[in-house]
Amino acid sequence: VATLGIDLGGTFARAAVVDAQGRILAADKAALGERTPDAVVDVIARAASAALRLAGNVDVTAVGVGAAGQLRGETGIIRVAPNLGWRDVPFGALLAARFNRPVRVVNDLSAAAWGELRVGAGRGVSDLLVVFVGSGVGSAIITHGQLTTGATGVAGEFGHIKVVPGGRPCGCGERGCLEAYVGGHNLTAQLRELLAEADPASPLARLASQLPPGAPALPPLLEQAAGAGDARAREVLTRAADALALAVANQVTVLNPGRLVLGGGTLTHLPLLKERIREGVQAWSSAVSRDGLTVADAELGDDSGIIGAALLASGGWG
């Protein structure tokens, strides 16, 4: 039995045919054009057709979608998808009409966590905390083998806990969120602020001047500059790393997971951040809560969401 997994981001949609063991049989990716729900459904349908054709037109019993946005529980309604400019779009119903199959829509991080749980770094664990740091920051919590969705479907909004009340503005419209300090997008913003006022002789300014013409300054430059002795780059990075590490340690204390899985591009490209999380969990989480805890890197990379969405469509939460 195979199902169709859909990964809906802000610029691309991917579709994959996934078997019951979580193997991708075939996949296709298409750029989004217009952002209206109907146009996005069209793009997804095209990618899905291509993937199905590649898979030899195997039958799929259901469709699972991991969408970059906030869901209204299990209704299939996308409450907010900032990158698409959507509010309260009944996306599950639209897709179900197109595919004539049951459709399940979940948050992209929930889907990714489910993929890691079932066939990735969380295999065999029933209490799992997954933390992803990419351009944003998110988490997913699995307890008793079930995804914690919360009362209105937005549990896991780890990026929007407040680490500095009244602090830096965040993309969510609030202030002082963890994501405002440590998400890739906001690390880039802080890097640019530093560069705008950096002494040209500072390690940061010198490293930036060595970038190829037109290449943007990206967060790994902070880590390079800090390593070269740049005090201000080190300060920004340390603040971000400490806030992230403390927040993860505290979640370990409260949730007592058997495994902590770390993923996302920002952690991949800034090994210092990932190292600091590991140190922080050791130093700051309650000793009894981390008893038996293992910390692992996410294993499925960009495929975790599409695999997780497909598996969620086929088999419920447990």
Query: Shortest gap between Cβ of 129 and a copy of itself (angstroms)?
Result: 10
Nearer to a copy of itself, 61 or 146 (CB): 146
Query: Shortest gap between Cβ of 254 and a copy of itself (angstroms)?
Result: 6
User: In 136-258, which ranges are E strands?
Assistant: 137-143, 146-147
Nearer to a copy of itself, 201 or 287 (CB): 287
Query: Shortest gap between Cβ of 260 and a copy of itself (angstroms)?
Result: 11
Nearer to a copy of itself, 127 or 299 (CB): 127
Nearer to a copy of itself, 15 or 133 (CB): 133
Query: Shortest gap between Cβ of 104 and a copy of itself (angstroms)?
Result: 16
Specify the amino acid at residue 86.
W
Q: For residue 24, which of 41, 44, 2, 9 has the smallest C-alpha distance?
A: 2
Nearer to a copy of itself, 224 or 253 (CB): 253
How many whole angstroms separate alpha carbon 115 and alpha carbon 22? 8
Query: Shortest gap between Cβ of 139 and a copy of itself (angstroms)?
Result: 7
Which token pair is 276?
């600091």
**What do you get for the CA distance between the two ends of the chain, in Å?**
18
Query: Shortest gap between Cβ of 144 and a copy of itself (angstroms)?
Result: 6
Nearer to a copy of itself, 42 or 127 (CB): 127
Specify the amino acid at residue 263.
G
**Number of Cβ within a 10 Å radius of residue 42:** 16
How many whole angstroms separate alpha carbon 304 and alpha carbon 312? 12
Nearer to a copy of itself, 33 or 150 (CB): 150
Q: Which residues bind a copy of itself (CB under 8 A)?
A: 70, 79-80, 125-127, 139, 141, 143-144, 146, 148-158, 160-162, 165, 172-174, 177, 246-247, 249-251, 253-259, 283-284, 286-289, 291-293
- The CA–CA distances, whole Å, from 229 to 182, 195, 207, 221 equal 20, 15, 12, 12
**Number of Cβ within a 10 Å radius of residue 93:** 14
Query: Shortest gap between Cβ of 168 and a copy of itself (angstroms)?
Result: 14
**Number of Cβ within a 10 Å radius of residue 53:** 12
Backbone angles phi and psi of 260, in degrees to 5: -110, 120
